[in-house]
C-alpha cells in the first residue's frame, strides 16, 4: 500500500498539468475561433497568432 | 489549483453579457460574410497585411470577421478586400466591442475545466472505495478526495452560489437554490463522515453535479452570446456616414454627430438616418420601409423626409429636423418596448418546471429526514439519507434539458440563416399555427418595369419626359427606371385625370396612360409615340427569392397563410393572386395591422408575423412569434424574435420544423429526467442509495438527455 504515497500524488500532479494547460489555452484566446483554427492547421505558412 | 486563477467576480449568472469593453487598440473590425475556408483565411489576411500601416490582420472564421490592427483607412482596407473578391463592411467599434471580450464565458469555461478535472480524479479515488477499500485506506482516500473537492467546489460552483444567495436572502426559490444547497450540504456531510470514518462520502457526486450543470450553463451562455454578437453586428453594420454641408465645406460624419438645423446632402441610393426638411431639389423617395407603399413618392422643397426612407434619384439638400431619439423611427421604440415586456411575460417550459421542482425537492428531502428520525431516532443516518435524496433528485439532466436542445437548434437555424434573438423565441415559434406576411419588402423586394427593352433611344427619351411630368405612381416608377436617360423636350404637356398624360413633339401627339385612352390593344400602361406606335409597359412587383416555396411549404405543414399590407388594394391583390393567398387585407395602418393580429389571436390562433417595415413593428411585437428579414429597419429587427439573414425565404418552413422538433425534444428530456428520478428517488428514500448509484444515475441521465437533444440536428 505504500506505493500509493507515490502514485496518488503523481497522478494528481499529471492531471493538474493538464488542467493548467487547458486554463492557459482558454486564457490565450484559443477557444475564440474553433472553426477557423480547424482550417488553419492545413495551411503551409504560419499566419499571425491569436493574441 | 485555485491559486493559478485570479478570482474573478460573477455578476448575475447567465444573463449579464455586458462585459467590460475591450481595451481599444488602433485598428478596425470588418464583417466579411463570404469567409468560408482555409483559402479565404490566408487570402484575406495576406491582402490586408500588405497594406501600409497594417501591423496585423487576423480572421475569425466563426464570426466571419477580420480584425485589422494598425493605423489604416477603412476605405483602403475594404477596397483591398474587394480586389481579392471579398465584400467587406466596417463594423461600428463601439457596438462590436461588447461581444469582443467575452469574460463571463471564459470564466465559465475555466470553471468547467476545474470541475471536470476534480471530478475525474475524485471519481478514480471513489472507484477504489466502491470496489472495497476499507478502514484506513478508505479514510485516506476520502481525505484526498476532500482535499481536491473542497477547493474545486469553492471555485467552480461559484456561479450557483452567487445566484442562489440573493434569492435565499429574499426568501425566494430559484433553480439554483436546490443546486447550491445540495452541493454545500453534501460537501459538509461528507467532511463530517470522513472525520468519523464513515462509509460514504459524496464528494464525487457534488463535483459531478457541479460539472454537468456548468456544462449546461455554458451551452446556454454560448447560444445567447452567439445571438447577441450577431445582433450587435447587424446594428454595427449600419455604420453609415452622412455628408454634412457647412461653411468650411463638406464633411462625412456619423449620424450621431448631426445636430438639428445642420444641412446635409443626400444622393441617389442613400438611406436617411435622421428626419429632415427638404430644402433644395426634387426627388422620388422609397417609403416602403416606413409605410409599406410599393410606389415611390415625389417630394419637393418644404416636404418632410423621415429616417429610413431611400432616395431613388436626384441630389438633395435637406435640413435636419430631428436626430437620434427624436426621429420618427425611434418613436416606434415605445411600441417595441411594450412588446418586449409582453414576451417576457411568456413563461418558458424550463421555468414552469423549476417552479414545481425546487420546492418539491426540498420537501422530499425534509420529509425523508423527518421520516427516518421518527422511525430510527438516528440523526446521522437520517441526515445521510436526506443528503442522498437531495443529490439524487438534483437537476443534472434538468439543467441540461433546455440548453442542450436550444444550443443544437439555434446552431442548426444559424447555419440555415436564421438568427434567434430571443431566449423563448424557439419555443414560441414551435407553437404557431397561423402565418401572417407583410407584403412590401417581405414577400416582394422591388418593383420592376418591363416593356422598356423594345424602345429605341429616342422613344426612351420621350417616355422619360412624359413620365416625369406625371405624379401617377406608375409614371413615377417608369421615371425611376429610365433615370439617367437624356430627355426629349415635349411641349404642351397636359395631365388628364384618371387617363394619363399627353404632350406634343413637332406637332405630333405623344401619350402615356390607360390602354383605353392611349392605345388600343396594349396591356398595363400604354405609351403612344409620335408615329402612332403603341407599346405596353407593365409594372410588376418582384417576389422575394423563395417566397413561393416558403408559402407552399407552410401550407404543407398545415398553416393558414395571410397577407396584410399598407399598400393599395390592386397591388396587394395581384401579389396575393400570384402566390395563391386567399386571405389578405390592404391599406392597413400600423394600428390596424395590430388589430388584425389581435382578432386572429382572439379566435384562438397562434400567429407568426413576418414583416420588415416600420409599419409592421407593432404587429411584429403583438404576434406570438415574429421574423424580420435582415434588410428590415433596425426598429423592426429589434421587435422581432428571429432575424432572417439570407435573402431567400425558402427555409422558413424548415425553421418552424426545427422549432417544433426542439420543443418536442425538451419535453422528452424532461420526461427522461423524471423517469430517472422515479427509479432513483424511492431507492434514496428507502436508504439504499449509495454514492455509486448517485454517480450512475447522474451520468447516464445527463448523457441520455444530451444525446436526445442532438437529434434536433436530424430534422
Q: Do B294 and B447 form a contact (C-beta atoms < 8 A)?
A: yes
3-state secondary structure of B253: strand
Question: Closest residue of A to B115, CA-based?
Answer: A19
Tracing cell 472564421 back to the chain, one arrives at B61
Nearest CB to B56; choose among A22, A34, A48: A48
Euclidean distance between CA atoms B112 and B178, whole angstroms: 20
Q: Give φ, ψ of B246 to 5 degrees.
A: -145, 180
Given this model, what pLDDT does residue B137 score?
85
Given this model, what pLDDT does residue B608 score?
93
Query: Which cell goes with B384?
Result: 445521510
Euclidean distance between CA atoms B284 and B333, whole angstroms: 27
User: Which of chain A's residues have a Cβ under 8 Å away from the Cβ of B117?
Assistant: 15-16, 18-19, 22
Euclidean distance between CA atoms B221 and B216, whole angstroms: 9
Burial call B122-158: b when 16+ CB within 10 Å, e when fewer: bbbbbeebeeebeeeebbbbbebbbebbbebbebbbb
Given this model, what pLDDT does residue B631 score?
74
Sheet holding B434-438, edge to edge: B418-420, B642-644, B625-629, B607-610, B434-438, B560-564, B583-585
Reduced 3-state DSSP string for B2-47: HHHCCCCCCCCCCCCCCCCCCCCCCEEEEECCCCCCHHHHHHHHHH
Task: Please count the other Cβ atoms lying within 10 Å of the Cβ belonging to residue B166.
Answer: 12
Q: Do B245 and B263 form a contact (C-beta atoms < 8 A)?
A: yes
> Which of B350, B571, B359 shows the shortest CA–CA distance to B447?
B571
Query: Which cell goes with B50?
Result: 500588405
- End-to-end CA, chain B: 43
Q: Which residue, among B60, B68, B141, B147, would best test binding to A if mutated, counting the most A CBs under 10 Å from its CB? A: B60
Share in percent of chain A as helix, strand, coil (round to 5):
60, 0, 40
| pLDDT band (50, 70, 90) for residue B523 | low
Distances, alpha carbon B265 to alpha carbons B238, B246, B283, B304, B396, in Å: 18, 10, 13, 15, 60
Nearest CB to B60; choose among A11, A18, A36: A36
What mean pLDDT is predicted for residues B149-175?
A: 86
Convert the pLDDT of each residue in B546-581 to its tens digit.
Answer: 889 999 999 998 898 999 988 888 888 888 988 888
Q: Do B10 and B104 form a contact (C-beta atoms < 8 A)?
A: yes
Q: Which CATH class is domain B447-542?
A: alpha beta
Quick check: A22 pLDDT over 50?
yes
Query: Which cell goes with B139?
Result: 479514510
Domain B411-445+544-660 grouped into CATH 2.102.10.10: no
What's the half-sphere exposure (Cβ side, CA atoms, 13 Å) at B530? 16
Within chain B, all domains assigned CATH 2.70.150.10 are found at 242-333
Task: Please count the other Cβ atoms lying within 10 Å of the Cβ belonging to residue B267.
Answer: 12
Helices (H) and strands (E) in chain B, counts: 25, 26
Question: Closest residue of B to A23, CA-based?
Answer: B110
DSSP code at position B432: -
> Which of B49, B83, B50 shows the shortest CA–CA distance to B66?
B49
> Which of B306, B358, B402, B206 shows the shortest CA–CA distance to B614?
B306
Quick check: B8 pLDDT over 50?
no
Q: For the domain B28-101, what is the CATH code?
A: 3.30.70.100
Given this model, what pLDDT does residue B6 score?
35
User: Which of chain B's residues have a Cβ under 8 Å away from the Cβ of A11?
Assistant: 121, 124
Element (H, E) at B290: helix B288-291
Sign of torsion, CA B590 B596 B602 B608?
negative
- B242-333: what fold? 2.70.150
CB contact under 8 A, B110 and A47: no
User: Which of chain A's residues have a Cβ under 8 Å away from the Cβ of B56?
Assistant: 48
CB contact under 8 A, A16 and B117: yes
Within chain B, all domains assigned CATH 3.30.70.100 are found at 28-101
DSSP code at position B583: E
| pLDDT band (50, 70, 90) for residue B476 | confident
Beta bridge partners of B583: B562
Q: Do B275 and B259 form a contact (C-beta atoms < 8 A)?
A: no
Q: If phi over 0 gives left and psi between -120 and 50 gives alpha, with beta otherwise, what is residue B672? A: alpha
Euclidean distance between CA atoms B604 and B709, whole angstroms: 30
Given this model, what pLDDT does residue B83 score?
86
Question: Closest residue of A to B38, CA-based?
Answer: A39
Q: Do B418 and B409 form a contact (C-beta atoms < 8 A)?
A: no
Convert the pLDDT of each residue in B657-693 to its tens digit.
Answer: 999 999 999 989 988 888 888 888 888 888 888 888 8
Given this model, what pLDDT does residue B240 score?
66
**Tally of residues, chain B:** 715
Higher pLDDT, B84 or B357: B84
How confident is the prediction for chain B on average, in pLDDT?
80
Query: Which cell goes with B387?
Result: 443528503
Higher pLDDT, B283 or B429: B429
Q: Which of A45-49, B55-59, B404-408, B463-467 has the lowest mean pLDDT?
A: A45-49
Beta strands in B335-433 (DSSP E): 418-420
ipTM: 0.82
- CA dihedral (B658, B662, B668, B674) in degrees, to 10, reads 180
Euclidean distance between CA atoms B109 and B115, whole angstroms: 10
**Predicted TM-score of the model (pTM):** 0.72
Within chain B, all domains assigned CATH 3.40.50.1000 are found at 411-445+544-660
User: Which of chain A's residues have a Cβ under 8 Å away from the Cβ of B37?
Assistant: 39
Given this model, what pLDDT does residue B114 score?
94
Euclidean distance between CA atoms B429 and B418, whole angstroms: 12
Within chain B, all domains assigned CATH 3.40.1110.10 are found at 447-542
**Tally of residues, chain A:** 51
Taking an 8 Å Cβ-Cβ cutoff, which residues of chain A contact chain B?
1, 4, 8, 11-12, 15-16, 18-20, 22-23, 26-27, 31-36, 39-40, 42-43, 45, 47-48, 50-51
- Enumerate the active-site residues of B: 438
Question: Closest residue of A to B119, CA-based?
Answer: A15
In angstroms, what separates the C-alpha of B63 from chain A's closest C-alpha?
8
Nearest CB to B117; choose among A1, A15, A39: A15
Q: Do B515 and B522 form a contact (C-beta atoms < 8 A)?
A: yes
Query: Which cell goes with B359?
Result: 420546492
| pLDDT band (50, 70, 90) for residue A50 | low
Element (H, E) at B189: helix B176-195
Euclidean distance between CA atoms B386 and B372, whole angstroms: 9
Element (H, E) at B186: helix B176-195
What mean pLDDT is predicted for residues B475-481?
A: 78
Quick check: B708 pLDDT over 80?
yes
Quick check: B261 pLDDT over 90?
no
Given this model, what pLDDT does residue B550 score?
92
Convert the pLDDT of each residue in B207-241 to its tens digit.
Answer: 998 998 898 888 888 777 766 666 666 666 565 67
User: Which of chain A's residues have a Cβ under 8 Å away from the Cβ of B1?
Assistant: 16, 19
Element (H, E) at B601: helix B590-602
- End-to-end CA, chain A: 48
What mean pLDDT is predicted for residues B614-619?
A: 80
Amino acid at each position: 500500500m505504500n506505493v500509493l504515497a507515490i502514485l496518488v500524488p503523481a497522478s494528481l500532479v499529471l492531471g493538474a498539468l493538464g488542467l493548467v494547460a487547458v486554463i492557459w489555452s482558454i486564457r490565450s484566446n484559443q477557444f475564440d475561433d474553433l472553426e477557423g483554427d480547424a482550417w488553419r492547421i492545413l495551411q503551409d505558412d504560419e499566419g499571425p497568432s491569436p493574441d | 489549483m485555485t491559486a493559478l486563477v485570479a478570482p474573478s467576480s460573477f455578476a448575475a449568472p447567465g444573463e449579464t453579457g455586458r462585459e467590460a469593453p475591450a481595451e481599444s487598440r488602433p485598428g478596425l473590425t470588418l464583417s466579411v460574410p463570404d469567409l468560408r475556408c482555409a483559402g479565404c483565411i490566408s487570402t484575406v489576411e495576406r491582402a490586408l497585411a500588405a497594406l501600409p500601416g497594417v501591423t496585423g490582420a487576423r480572421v475569425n472564421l466563426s464570426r466571419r470577421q477580420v480584425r485589422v490592427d494598425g493605423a489604416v483607412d477603412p476605405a483602403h482596407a475594404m477596397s483591398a478586400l474587394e480586389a481579392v473578391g471579398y465584400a467587406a463592411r466596417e463594423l461600428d467599434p463601439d457596438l462590436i466591442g461588447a461581444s469582443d471580450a467575452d469574460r463571463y464565458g471564459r470564466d465559465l469555461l475555466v470553471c468547467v475545466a476545474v470541475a471536470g478535472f476534480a471530478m475525474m480524479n475524485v471519481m478514480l479515488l471513489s472507484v477504489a472505495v466502491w470496489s472495497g477499500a476499507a478502514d484506513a485506506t478508505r479514510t485516506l482516500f476520502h481525505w484526498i478526495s476532500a482535499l481536491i473537492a473542497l477547493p474545486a467546489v469553492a471555485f467552480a460552483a461559484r456561479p450557483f452560489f452567487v445566484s442562489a444567495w440573493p434569492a435565499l436572502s429574499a426568501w425566494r426559490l430559484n433553480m439554483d437554490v436546490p443546486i447550491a444547497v445540495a452541493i454545500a450540504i453534501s460537501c459538509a456531510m461528507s467532511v463530517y463522515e470522513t472525520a468519523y470514518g464513515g462509509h460514504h462520502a459524496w464528494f464525487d457526486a457534488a463535483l459531478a453535479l457541479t460539472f454537468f450543470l456548468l456544462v449546461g450553463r455554458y451551452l446556454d451562455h454560448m447560444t445567447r452570446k452567439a445571438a447577441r454578437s450577431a445582433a450587435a453586428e447587424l446594428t454595427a453594420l449600419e455604420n453609415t456616414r452622412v455628408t454634412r454641408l457647412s461653411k468650411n465645406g463638406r464633411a462625412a460624419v456619423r449620424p450621431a454627430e448631426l445636430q438639428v438645423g445642420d444641412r446635409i446632402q443626400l444622393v441617389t441610393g442613400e438611406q436617411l438616418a435622421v428626419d429632415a426638411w427638404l430644402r433644395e431639389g426634387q426627388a422620388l423617395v422609397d417609403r416602403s420601409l416606413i409605410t409599406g407603399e410599393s410606389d415611390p413618392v415625389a417630394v419637393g422643397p418644404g416636404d418632410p423626409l423621415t429616417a429610413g426612407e431611400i432616395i431613388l434619384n436626384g441630389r438633395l439638400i435637406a435640413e435636419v429636423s430631428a436626430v437620434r431619439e427624436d426621429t420618427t423611427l425611434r418613436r416606434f421604440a415605445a411600441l417595441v418596448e411594450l412588446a418586449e415586456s409582453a414576451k417576457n411575460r411568456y413563461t418558458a417550459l424550463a421555468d414552469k418546471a423549476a417552479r414545481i421542482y425546487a420546492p418539491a425537492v426540498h420537501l422530499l428531502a425534509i420529509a425523508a429526514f423527518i421520516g427516518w428520525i421518527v422511525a430510527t431516532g438516528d440523526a446521522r443516518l437520517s441526515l445521510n439519507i436526506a443528503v442522498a435524496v437531495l443529490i439524487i433528485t438534483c437537476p443534472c439532466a434538468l439543467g441540461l434539458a433546455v440548453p442542450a436542445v436550444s444550443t443544437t437548434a439555434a446552431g442548426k437555424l444559424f447555419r440555415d440563416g436564421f438568427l434567434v434573438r430571443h431566449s423563448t423565441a424557439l419555443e414560441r415559434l414551435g407553437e404557431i399555427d397561423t402565418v401572417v406576411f407583410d407584403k412590401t419588402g417581405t414577400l416582394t423586394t422591388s418593383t420592376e418595369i418591363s416593356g422598356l427593352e423594345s424602345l429605341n433611344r429616342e422613344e426612351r427619351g420621350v417616355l422619360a419626359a412624359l413620365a416625369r411630368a406625371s405624379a401617377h405612381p406608375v409614371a413615377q416608377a417608369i421615371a425611376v427606371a429610365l433615370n439617367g436617360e437624356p430627355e426629349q423636350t415635349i411641349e404642351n404637356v397636359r395631365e388628364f385625370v384618371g387617363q394619363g398624360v399627353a404632350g406634343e413633339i413637332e406637332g405630333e401627339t405623344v401619350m402615356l396612360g390607360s390602354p383605353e385612352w392611349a392605345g388600343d390593344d396594349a396591356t398595363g400602361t400604354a405609351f403612344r409615340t409620335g408615329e402612332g406606335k403603341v407599346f405596353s409597359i407593365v409594372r410588376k412587383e418582384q417576389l422575394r427569392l423563395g417566397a413561393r416555396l416558403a408559402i407552399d411549404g407552410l401550407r404543407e405543414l398545415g398553416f393558414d397563410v395571410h397577407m396584410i399590407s399598407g399598400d393599395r388594394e390592386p397591388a396587394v391583390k395581384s401579389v396575393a393572386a400570384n402566390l395563391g393567398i386567399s386571405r389578405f387585407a390592404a391599406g392597413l395602418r400600423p394600428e390596424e395591422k395590430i388589430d388584425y393580429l389581435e382578432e386572429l389571436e382572439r379566435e384562438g390562433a397562434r400567429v407568426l408575423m413576418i414583416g420588415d417595415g416600420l409599419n409592421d413593428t407593432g404587429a411584429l411585437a403583438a404576434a406570438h412569434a415574429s421574423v424580420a428579414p435582415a434588410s428590415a429597419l433596425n426598429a423592426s429587427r429589434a421587435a422581432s424574435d428571429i432575424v432572417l439573414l439570407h435573402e431567400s425565404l425558402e427555409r422558413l418552413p424548415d425553421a418552424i420544423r426545427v422549432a417544433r422538433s426542439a420543443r418536442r425534444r425538451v419535453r422528452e428530456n424532461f420526461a427522461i429526467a423524471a423517469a430517472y428520478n422515479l427509479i432513483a428517488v424511492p431507492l434514496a428514500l428507502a436508504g439504499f442509495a449509495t454514492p455509486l448509484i448517485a454517480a450512475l444515475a447522474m451520468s447516464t441521465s445527463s448523457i441520455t438527455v444530451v444525446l436526445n437533444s442532438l437529434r434536433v440536428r436530424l430534422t
